[in-house]
Structure 1
Amino acid sequence: MKNSADISFNLMRVLYTFIEEAKHQYLMDKYLIMNSDEFVTRLLKFRRWQDAQLSLLGRVLLKYGLDHYFDSKDFEIGRTPDYKPYIKNHNLHFNISHAGNLVICCIHESPVGIDVEYINQEADYEEFKFQMTSGELEKIHFSEDKVQSFFTYWTEKEAVIKAHGKGMFIPLDSFEVNHSKAIIENEIFYLKEIYLDKKYQCCIAANEDIREKTIFVKRLNVNFL
């Protein structure tokens, strides 16, 4: 028999998809009306279709996940004083991230953060050294693949900050990730890398130990949304 911690963990869902220009107007026509006026106004200000579709599909993935796995068809999104979005009147947490042509959403019963980054092979980690601890900088500097190591570092730190909930109020160099674990303000967060695509780096953070857990990850095709 599974204990309560296992049951709680098994409710974590991670969904992702890739944007498609050919489906842009179809997605806008179908899903804009399902969102708040404030979100629609913000979405329509984007100049690039890519930015608009990434933001829209983040909400679509959230709706799909709530409908299919948490039996929550009606929901409203609010924001904490630190501007972290949350689901009103539900004991559920979510986080959305996007980079390049990929958007991802994680839903869980406890605080969670997820970050995805497009692996830019031209990136120079030295430009970000002032946002790293000396230990992190040394680890990247002596790694065999410095670009991969840098993006691993970056997604880990961003995921932790997003799980914590205070965003830019927490400097990246104010805490360090060791053995896929980090501590912010006496709160422990655990990290796990998620493989999605060879061009992207992704990491998830939670305030429960997920390092040895199997996370449910599903890719959705925009043709069937």
Structure 2
Amino acid sequence: MIIQDTYTKAIPFLRIDEYPQIKIQDKESFLFHYTFDKQFGNDLWHHYLNFLPYNFQNEVLRFRRWQDRYNCLLGKLMVYVGFKIFYNSELSFENFLKDSYGKPYIKDCKMNFNISHSGNTVVCIFSKEPIGIDVEEAKDIEYTLFENVFTDQEMKEISSVGLSKFYEYWTKKEAIIKAIGKGMSIPLLDIEVKGDHSIYDGIKWNIKSLKLNNMNCAIASKYNTNNVNLFEVVF
């Protein structure tokens, strides 16, 4: 089942110092999102870019398309916002690292987070527990070309329902893989989705699908995924 989430709170990035601290609880998650429809002014863009150290700025600027640059930059700034809100402290990007599988984490921090972006939408989810998120912009594709990533039962449902079921299954599988944290070393076919959960390597992962600004989105966690707090980070 896909849930349409409409209630969301706003966090103005330029006034983040005024935003009250939030104490995140066990089995609770916070989903930050932002959808852009045009480029910022030159001064504002450089203001945001200068929040990052030079090595991170270069990572952003390596992208040729401005949309990809925005996705890369804003994802990192969402982590900055989350750290500020949950720890009442500014994030030192020197502690923003990647593990051997390429998954970002914050050194000496118990908070788990996961970033995803597609089209002009960026999302970042935070939790005390391992968690994964995937967002996908729906495009008119030939889903039969992806038979090697779906089980027979999943493909049967996709063929019956169509593209919406394809994206529901795809985002769920991606969210689980990102929650596990081993990247694409896990084939999508090895993740078998059964409704609102999947079991991989003896561990049950709970999954929630939602529509976010008309984007297909899924969240995966070992715990109940219903307690999700939505926040729009306003840039």
TM-score range, shorter chain: 0.7 to 0.9
Equivalent residue number for residue 191 of structure 1: 207
Q: CA RMSD in A?
A: 1.7
Corresponding residue SS for 2:193: coil
Residues 1:139 and 2:152 are matched in the alignment: no
TM-score, normalized by length of structure 1? 0.87
Cα separation, 2, equivalents of 1:167 and 1:219: 27
Which runs of 5 or more residues in structure 2 are unaligned?
1-23
Q: Residue 222 of structure 2 aligns to which amino acid in structure 1?
A: N
Question: Does 1:88 find its partner at 2:103?
Answer: no
Q: What is the percent sequence identity of the aligned residues?
A: 31
Instruction: Specify the alignment match of 1:3 in structure 2.
Output: none
CA offset at residue 24 of structure 1? 5.5
Q: What is the letter of the counterpart of residue 214 of structure 1?
A: N
Partner of 2:170: 154
| Structure 1 SS opposite 2:31 | strand
Identify unmatched segments of 5+ residues in structure 1: 1-5
The letter of the residue matching 1:153 is Y
Q: Which has the higher strand share?
A: 2
8 Å CA contact 2:117, 2:123 repeated in 1: yes
Distance, in Å, in 1 between the alignment partners of 2:116 and 2:42 is: 22
Higher relative contact order structure (alpha carbons within 8 Å, sequence separation ≥ 6)? 2
Does structure 2 retain, via aligned residues, the 8 Å contact 1:43–1:55? yes
Aligned 1:103-182 pairs, distance under 5 A: 103-120=122-139, 122-143=140-161, 146-182=162-198
- 1:7 is matched with 25
- In the alignment of these two chains, the number of paired residues is 210
Whether 1:51 and 2:68 are equivalent positions in the alignment is: yes
Closer, same or farther in 2 for the Cα pair 1:131/1:169, shift >3 Å?
same
Q: Answer yes or no: is 1:202 the counterpart of 2:202.
A: no
Distance in structure 1 (CA, Å) of the matches to 2:87 and 2:180: 23
Shift of 1:36: 3.3
CA distance in structure 1 between the partners assigned to 2:36 and 2:142 by the alignment: 27
In structure 2, do the counterparts of structure 1 residues 27 and 164 end up closer, same or farther at CA, with 3 Å as the change threshold? farther
